[in-house]
A and B are shown apart, each in its own frame.
Chain A
Amino acid sequence: MFKMMGNIFKNLVSKPATRLYPFEKREPFKNTRGQIAGCDIDKCIFCGICQRKCPADAIVVNKEEKSWEIDQFRCVICNACVEACPKKCIISSETHKTPQYKKDKLKIVQTEKITESTGKITT
């Protein structure tokens, strides 16, 4: 019965092992797979390899409209698309996706080359 006493005293005097979550957040480690934040649309060549490799069928690439769309609620964050992309233009971020009210898809369309800007339309 007294074998736990040493442990109990150490727990009483040291600081708690949990953190007050919404007020203190932990920094994620480097190279953590948090979510797929989008892609760099100027470099994308619309080859469709990421659509073929995705195990959850979450990416849709349309070559005629020059758009790349991902359903982030179907994505299982395996990063197979990031490794398969030949131009390495898919961006993976370290923070997880926050809860949302509606399941919107993230769609990025490449505009004309003259203005060199990316148009981000969320439908």
Chain B
Amino acid sequence: MSSTIIPFGPQHPVLPEPLHIRLVMEDEKIVEAIPAIGYVHRGLEKLTETKDFTQNVYIVERVCGICSVMHAMAYCQGIEELMNIVVPDRAKFLRVIWAELHRIHSHLLWLGLLADAFGFESLFMQVWRDREKVMDIMEETAGARVVISANAIGGTRRDLSKEQMVKINLTIDEIKHDLEQVESVFLNNYTVKHRLVGRGILTKADAIELCAVGPMARASGISMDLRTTGYSAYGQLDFEPVLHNDGDNYARTYVRLKEIYQSIDLIKQAISKIPEGEHLVPVKGMPPKGEVISRVEQPRGEVLYYLRANGTKNLERLRLRTPTFANIPSLMKMLPGSQLSDVPLLILTIDPCISCTER
């Protein structure tokens, strides 16, 4: 029984971003795993201290490409609370529609990467073809495909017309129809289940102790979804968090797949309930002295923004903690006991977004 140390290096075909894990192994079974980050540190928190509080929206959106709308939403909600700005109702519903579209595209991207990780390339291409329809909606309604810059302090920059809302409804019906055909492959196929069921188990007690957030916690049985607190327009929509009790890879796939259906339902509810009104309120003055915390549910979990202002046009401190930052320590409990060939798949099921982690 000899132990070898293998670096699961920063470059790996399965990872979308660089992450380094040091695996201590004994003959194909992993005994210990230590993660290390720091390959894409850009120093964005320091950059926000030198720019205006209105220019910071554009910087904060570019922390991550996949969850960019929710970053801007959390920042704008924080500044609006500091300056006591009341956002019109129509703007709140518009923000919810764009946020849920982003959640659909993020989960579809993850499902495609998962299928690619165990070699099922045609399934990966089917899922990404549906993702293209969501990107086309974003380009048509907000002006860009990935970083859409739709949020501004005081509301949203653009409005949605009636024809656009009808088109959104038709497109998400098509996505739902396509997804129903692909769902049975993810959940009931014999070879796929062999790689997912029973691997990488994170028990409920471990998830509570390591403070996991997002779909990882919901797949281990903890009912935690920040959208139920009712920020923005979520208080007027009804839904329930999707849960599963097993805590293995299959549970996490199940939770993310069912969340796509939940987002489709939320968009339909929001489009039917949206009130008339304006979409932007003008903002005057500087943020007064004070601190505020705002939290939003991103596709990967809960993000926390801490803002401290001192009466000038620059913020004194902006701190953001993204959900992958909280999910990486769970790797230290999930990896020991599994085989080396399962490691890429396990790391992908936490949905790593490393550029968010080390802004």
Q: Is the CB of A53 within 8 A of B54?
A: yes
Please choose the segment from B89-97, B185-193, B213-221, B292-300 that sits at the chain A interface, where 4 or more of its residues have CB less than 8 A away.
Answer: B185-193
A98 at interface by CB-CB < 8 Å: no
- What are 20 A-B interface contacts by the 8 Å CB criterion? A1-B189, A1-B190, A3-B184, A3-B185, A3-B188, A3-B189, A4-B181, A7-B181, A17-B129, A17-B132, A29-B139, A29-B140, A32-B139, A32-B143, A32-B144, A54-B55, A55-B55, A55-B58, A79-B149, A83-B157
Chain B residue nearest to A54 in the complex (CB): B55
Give the complex CA separation of A80 and B157 in angstroms. 10
CB contacts under 8 Å to B, within A55-76, are 55-56, 76
Give the complex CA separation of A53 and B185 in angstroms. 50
Q: Is the CB of A7 within 8 A of B126?
A: yes
Instruction: For A55, list chain B residues within 8 Å (CB).
Output: 51, 55-56, 58-59
B interface residues, how many (CB within 8 angstroms): 24
A6 at interface by CB-CB < 8 Å: yes
CB contacts under 8 Å to A, within B104-162, are 126, 129, 132, 136, 139-140, 143-144, 149, 157
- Write the nearest CB–CB distance from A56 to chain B, whole angstroms: 8
Instruction: For B59, list chain A residues within 8 Å (CB).
Output: 55
Chain A interface size, as a band, is 20 to 34
Instruction: For B143, list chain A residues within 8 Å (CB).
Output: 31-33, 79
Instruction: For B56, list chain A residues within 8 Å (CB).
Output: 55
Identify which of A30, A76, A83 contacts B58 (C-beta below 8 A): A76
Instruction: For B144, list chain A residues within 8 Å (CB).
Output: 32-33, 77
Instruction: For A53, list chain B residues within 8 Å (CB).
Output: 54-55
